[in-house]
């Protein structure tokens, strides 16, 4: 998986720069951040899963390369005790991508897509909606997969005792239930909406 992601990123970057040292440097940074020992869910497996989910609907995404960059960078900064992870991740993406032959329009799109993963609100941009849905695809998986995800998230927030974590987690889950649709696109809504709501309700009961 790691080698596959590595190659995917190198191939992506090579479309905008022939600087192989820079490509290796960027990949090393991504790998180190996502492989941090504090990451149990927001790691390279999550990146691979998002790409896998979106490759199914690749024909619906016009600017596939920008979406790929957004995936690789959207959680490059992730600290459970912080509330500005998305902003910092977007800034890193912008800083790195300004050094290659990527247009301002693409960089701005990637920046905004990463920011959109903070609140997961419906976007006027359909490609952003596909990105958001892939990011939340785990919510609609089987209960066994979902339960494993909840354990991974709990480990990422292990600095908090249950009496602090449980109400916070419940608030996040209830926030998703306030959406008329958790998933913004027809494809992911049909695939995951029913099971996602079922999983969320079950987790709330268990908290």
In the predicted structure, residue 147 carries a pLDDT above the cut 70: yes
Distances (CA, A) of 72 to 33, 54, 85: 11, 13, 14
Distances (CA, A) of 64 to 59, 79, 131, 204: 9, 28, 10, 36
**Domains of the chain: which residue ranges?**
1-119, 136-207
Please state the pTM of the whole predicted model. 0.96
Distances (CA, A) of 131 to 114, 144, 157: 9, 24, 24
pLDDT, tens digit, for every residue of 45-78? 999 999 999 999 999 999 999 999 999 999 999 9
In the predicted structure, residue 24 carries a pLDDT above the cut 90: yes
pLDDT score of 180: 95
Nearest to 5 by CA among 21, 19, 26, 22: 26
């Amino acid at each position: 998986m790691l080698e596959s992601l590595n190659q995917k990123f190198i191939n992506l970057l090579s479309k905008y720069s022939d600087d192989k040292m820079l490509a290796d440097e960027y990949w090393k940074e991504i790998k180190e951040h996502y492989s941090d020992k504090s990451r149990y869910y927001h790691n390279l497996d999550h990146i691979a899963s998002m790409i896998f989910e979106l490759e199914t609907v690749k024909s619906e995404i016009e600017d596939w390369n920008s979406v790929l960059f957004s995936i690789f960078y959207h959680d490059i900064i992730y600290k459970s005790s912080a509330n500005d992870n998305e902003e910092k991740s977007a800034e890193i993406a912008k800083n790195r991508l300004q050094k290659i032959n990527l247009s301002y329009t693409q960089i701005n799109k990637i920046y905004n897509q990463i920011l959109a993963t903070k609140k997961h609100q419906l976007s006027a941009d359909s490609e952003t909606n596909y990105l958001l849905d892939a990011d939340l695809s785990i919510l609609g998986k089987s209960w066994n997969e979902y339960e494993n995800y909840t354990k991974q998230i709990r480990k990422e927030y292990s600095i908090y005792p249950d009496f602090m974590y449980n109400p916070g987690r419940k608030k996040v889950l209830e926030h998703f239930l306030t959406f008329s649709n958790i998933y913004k696109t027809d494809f992911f809504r049909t695939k995951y909406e029913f099971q996602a709501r079922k999983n969320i309700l079950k987790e709330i009961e268990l908290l």
